[in-house]
A and B are shown apart, each in its own frame.
Chain A
């Protein structure tokens, strides 16, 4: 299978990484980079020269704090670029197993963090109804959400490959 063309996909999304001058302001501002191998400047570099990066685990170390994007002297929308590269990876079937699990929670419950017994009890202790006024309480609303997710092909996207 052909490698997806990251650089062109970024361009299609209106994201120009070619203006990057490799100054390193982004990586210097990155809180995650203090603790991990994430090097934001290198991610932008890799996208510029279009090398394979879809398997880089660093893509998932970004906490989306937007420091880099706010400070980039070239105004590059770095976080948006990381989102786009992640999307390409996920569509190639590359994602963290924990993220696959969260996706299945969304498909089943319409919530990424569904209710549990402990919280039901906390709600009752507060004098609230055990279930909130969300899809948890309205089955038809949950069906609508599931229909939307299927319409977007999200169920197939996150299915175990």
Chain B
């Protein structure tokens, strides 16, 4: 199987380390060869830096990719933003010789060169493609009978010409991975809608971002689920941190627990809620933690 290096980005190691821990535990348990990508930086964040200056975006993204090329490994991302930024940059640099040359003229100053030898993967599509739901199902030791509101997040599947992951309006691969661990992926209106964090909206126009996530949360609440599952720490921050802000500003208390897929998978592979950092979320929901304990201790 493909050898990987783990690209952390910013939000996972610096806000939601539970996702980092869960990812490493899962990869180890699944026997996937993945090392740290030492010295990596911000991907850089596509909504902001990519739109500020293309040369800067490509230079920083390519440095991260080159670090993995030097290890002879593909890049594994655990975040839709990092995935989009690195995969798009990798693609553009491989396709466009002039762009590659101008980017390498910057990289040269730090003794690096982009060769185009690595692929950029996202943990969800990687697990789906390389392992598949059936194999994953066999490895589950604690089937999790949970009702889950799944949030793909925009950049996992779009732009579709770059991703090739099937339908962007009604994709199903991620649902299959969730169902493989025994959970029910509940359909709900606006399931494919954006959480509102991307494009620099959360960082630049915070109130707009909160309105967008509030809409999505209200739909999820109506679907009566145990938790939200996402594939991206930025969506995760938007759902988890967003609920705290909505409670303060609008007085609406959703208290819906938010899990990254790595964390959900970690539970199903036998790790405890604390080991995968679910208790470190901003949203506190003791009922849910109790339920998880029952499910994982049985």
Residue B295 CB within 8 A of the other chain:
no
Interface majority SS (helix, strand, loop, mixed), chain B: helix
Residues of B within 8 A of A141 (CB): 38-41
> How far apart sit A156 and B225, CA to CA, in the bound complex (Å)?
48
Residues of B within 8 A of A62 (CB): 199, 201
Residue A61 CB within 8 A of the other chain:
yes
> How far apart sit A39 and B37, CA to CA, in the bound complex (Å)?
41
Instruction: Map CB proximity to B onto A99-139 as digits: 1 under 8 Å, 0 otherwise.
Output: 10011001000111111100100110111100011111110
Least Cβ–Cβ distance between A66 and chain B, in angstroms:
4
Q: Check A103/B212 contact, CB under 8 A, given A70-B168, A133-B37, A148-B109.
A: no
> How far apart sit A138 and B158, CA to CA, in the bound complex (Å)?
33
Are the C-beta atoms of A61 and B158 separated by less than 8 Å? no
Query: Which residues of B179-222 are within 8 A (CB) of A?
Result: 193-194, 196-201, 203-206, 208-209, 211-212, 215
Are the C-beta atoms of A103 and B48 separated by less than 8 Å? yes
Residues of B within 8 A of A119 (CB): 13-15, 17
Instruction: Supply 6 further A-B pairs (C-beta < 8 A) apart from A87-B53, A113-B14, A132-B13.
Output: A31-B193, A60-B204, A113-B15, A126-B280, A147-B110, A158-B52
Which residue numbers of A lie inside 8 Å of B, CB to CB?
31-32, 34-36, 60-67, 69-70, 79, 82-83, 86-87, 90-91, 95-96, 98-99, 102-103, 106, 110-116, 119, 122-123, 125-128, 132-138, 140-142, 144-145, 147-149, 151-154, 157-158
